[in-house]
Structure 1
Amino acid sequence: MSIKPKLSRFDLTMIVISLIIGTGIFKSPGEVALRTGSTQLFFAAWVVGGLVTLCGALTFAEIGARYPNTGGFYKLFSYCYHPAFAFMINWGAVIATTASVAAVALIGAEYLNPILLPDSLQNSTGTKISTIAMVLVVYLINFLGIKTSARTQNLLTIFKVGMIVVLCLAIFRSDSTTVITHAVMPVGNPVASFGLSLVAVFFTYTGYQQTINFGGDVIDAKRNIPKGIFLGIAIVIAVYMAVNFAYYHVLGMGGLQQNTGLAAKMASVVFGEVGSKVTSVLMFVSVLAYVNVNIMSVPRVYYAMAEDGMLPAIFKRVNPRTQAQEFGMSFFVLTILGILFLVNSFGEVLNYAMFFECIGLSTAAIAIFILRKRTKELDGTGIYTIKWFPLVPVLFIGTYWFVTLSIFMANPKATLVCLGVFALGLAIYYATKWRKL
């Protein structure tokens, strides 16, 4: 059974926002503060990150308009490069995404457990139990169908963004001043420090590119994908800048550099004792939305890979009534649950996930040059095209390569592990092809 378009532009906009705003904005600002050490560089990193992300959004908007397909990332690499390269990149990307979902889910459970569980279960075991329960609830919601998942996503996203805005606006009602002011400057090359700060910034901004995985799900995809991406990115940039200003206003650079419970600290200064509970609910909703949107998105990649014969046909089985990939979702959720027993913290996956993301996003953006040559017949038909081409994609690609180099210089081990994962994916591809001969 093939996938039929059921998602509106509003649905896609909510998906874009939820793919980006997970829990990173409640954790990454502390990492950025530690790696920059100054107010000027801190805000410069977020401004540069927003501008580069906008360039990426413009690039992926045209890619989505020129080549809308279910499992778009995998299909894009197959079409523009080679199926082996497509499998290798998506193999790494899916592993990174799965690990990120597991790590983010752990953070959500850590925030909510003090409200729900007794003191005897305020430990790692209790956290993992809560995390598993949360993932299973979202899994059951997705089993009801793509439209039910999208409606749930819309509600969670609206609530999440609304809560963040309320939290930011509340600083204007507070008589509090910055509670911690002493910042520590990082030791070393300031250019390298800035590059490492962008690792955390881009981790917080990334995710929007997965919208092209819904190319077959979106009604009038050639028009609605670009517009949905634009609106979603604009909202995210505005929210992120507001949140970071609020952090700095309440905590100062020194408070940001402590890098623990940033949102809870800010909320407690503004709202008092009830602030921690407000933050706990906000974090839980953010995690819920992030897990939900990935359970919607990642199985679409499995679908595309199964269509090309690189995964068993069961991965492209779709319920004709609900449009849910019941087997694909089940496999993804089981993988998340497996990783939950291996991952202990958000920080453990940051450099690994961003190395995969940087390679995947930059090579995907390069595909726009190939697509423009292969889809010339679409020019002048009303589809979205980048106005400042090729400056926009070149700026995006160059910045991500700079971040990739920063990761390599700071953590060669993480780079080698990631390259090993890519090599394993390539070996699996050719082993699969050989078995078919």
Structure 2
Amino acid sequence: MTQKLKNLLGTFDLTMIVVSLVIGMGIFRSSFNVAKDAGSPVIFFIAWILGGIIALFGALTFAEIGSRYPVTGGFYKIYSYCYHPALAFMINGIILISNAASVSAVALIGAGYLRGLLPVTYQTETVVQLVALAAVIVFFFVNYLGFKMSVKTQNVLMVIKILIVLFICAGLFYPASQAMPVQQVTGNTTFWGQVQALGAALIAVSFTYGGYQQTINFGGEVQHPQRIIPKAIFWGIAIIVSLYLLTNWAYFHTLGFNGIVYNAAGIESKSDLAARHVQSYVGNYGYSIMSLLLFFAVLAYVNIGLMSNPRVLYAMADEGVMPPFLKKVNEKSQVLVYALPVFAAVAVITLFFARTFEEILDYVIFLDSIGLATAVGSIFILRRKTAHLDNTNIYKMKGYPWMPVIYILAYAFVSLSIILRNPKSALIGFAMFLGFYPLYLLSRKLNQTRNGNKRNPE
């Protein structure tokens, strides 16, 4: 008998989950990558505004998807229901690896903030990697204490993280820093060069805005999904876009465009952007305090990643394409007993194979582009399959079909930008996607054998 997860989430809980899924550590670091790739303040801000619009279109599309088909592990079951179980397995396979890589990337960013507070002999990549590993392990155990504990912890961590972002935005009320770097960020001034710069900038922007789509994995655990899912997604994404634009304007106001990339000595300074920003108007103590706070802020994203992704494994096991032990639920704590440690193990393995944020970024976003474009495309199929719900109280977006079409085209543009910039990452990602097909066939065969043995015991 399939073990069911209980409906425990209200509007505030789910809104905080939306914000948690998106605001990792990207906004405290990705602005460096966006500014460097953009080459000019105009392209920099266009990328952030365009990314916010695309995220809103995607969020509203996923709100309707979640409202029409509210199930636990929805990000898997949508593909299975709208396309084919094989594509569902392949897409979710690469998305799980991509999400595990995102957890690792964010943990590395957070650990990097501690580097400047450590003695010089400990400021090494290995120490940063070990600190990131410790963060993943600690919150694996937090999640193992129970789903309610995870949700309460997440709410507290997210309130703290939003307060940190607001503290960064306070830089808008202080004079600009006088310690401007002599090094200048340069960009291509031709039309095609600026288009390429925008595409490259959108890669890091997409990473920073990504994550809201995982909200539908909690569809089976929301109290009134048709009403709460769209409301929580809308308010969550509105909070995120507002905070991101304010944060980047604060960086620009305080440090200047060149200061987002370079420190006062003219050296690229990517891992301490937010701390340098606060230091410019609070002083050296501000640098140390912000570095420590940002390390703790990373825990919210690690926690939500360990909450959300095991539910996809649960859904895949429920569909019979993963071993049935992955859907085992502790009835008392609502913990996914085996799916949680399996996903945590993948995150740890990814952490050791890719040591830096840059190594992970292109790889993650290319995989996400495939998954997100096809997920949003499912709305065209889902509307036909669930037409009987149209006159009920489900959420229906007003911008159909233009919102999903623009979203799909935007992610096709991002994918093309990755292919042009880093064809190796794109090739590896596509090869992994195809590699999940034989794994699907093997899993299906093993499941059929297992079911046959149950029907014909000897």
TM-score class, shorter-chain normalisation, is: over 0.9
Shift of 1:119: 4.9
1:7-406 residue pairs with structure 2 within 5 A? 7-115=9-117, 119-174=120-175, 176-177=177-178, 179-180=180-181, 182-186=184-188, 189-258=193-262, 259-260=269-270, 261-406=272-417
Per-residue Cα deviation, 1:346-384 (whole angstroms, up to 9, x for no partner)? 111111100111111111111111111111111121211
Matches of 1:395 and 1:109 in 2, distance apart? 36
Change (3 A) 1:427 1:203: same
- 8 Å CA contact 1:153–1:292 kept in 2: the answer is yes
**Aligned residue number for residue 456 of structure 2:** none
Matches of 2:365 and 2:349 in 1, distance apart? 21
Per-residue Cα deviation, 1:195-248 (whole angstroms, up to 9, x for no partner)? 111111111100000000111111111111111100110000010001100111
Matches of 2:211 and 2:414 in 1, distance apart? 16
Q: Which runs of 5+ in 1 are unaligned?
A: none
Shift of 1:113: 5.0
Identical-pair percentage: 45
- 8 Å CA contact 1:35–1:186 kept in 2: the answer is no
Q: Secondary structure at the match of 1:326?
A: coil
Matches of 1:283 and 1:90 in 2, distance apart? 30
Matches of 1:401 and 1:132 in 2, distance apart? 33
Shift of 1:392: 1.2
Q: Which moved more, 1:396-405 or 1:164-173?
A: 164-173
Q: Secondary structure at the match of 2:290?
A: helix
Shift of 1:178: 7.2
- 8 Å CA contact 1:66–1:375 kept in 2: the answer is yes
Matches of 2:389 and 2:70 in 1, distance apart? 13
- 8 Å CA contact 1:179–1:250 kept in 2: the answer is no
Change (3 A) 1:371 1:192: same
Shift of 1:169: 1.3
Matches of 1:178 and 1:25 in 2, distance apart? 22
Change (3 A) 1:380 1:281: farther
The one-letter amino acid paired with 2:291 is S
TM-score (norm 1): 0.96
RMSD between aligned residues: 1.7
- 8 Å CA contact 1:113–1:130 kept in 2: the answer is no
TM-score (norm 2): 0.91
- 8 Å CA contact 2:43–2:197 kept in 1: the answer is no
Matches of 1:129 and 1:183 in 2, distance apart? 33
Shift of 1:112: 2.6
Shift of 1:121: 3.3
Q: Which runs of 5+ in 2 are unaligned?
A: 263-268, 450-458
The one-letter amino acid paired with 1:392 is M
Matches of 1:16 and 1:92 in 2, distance apart? 21
Matches of 2:201 and 2:115 in 1, distance apart? 30
The one-letter amino acid paired with 2:357 is F
Matches of 2:86 and 2:297 in 1, distance apart? 35
Matches of 1:314 and 1:419 in 2, distance apart? 29
- 8 Å CA contact 2:55–2:209 kept in 1: the answer is yes
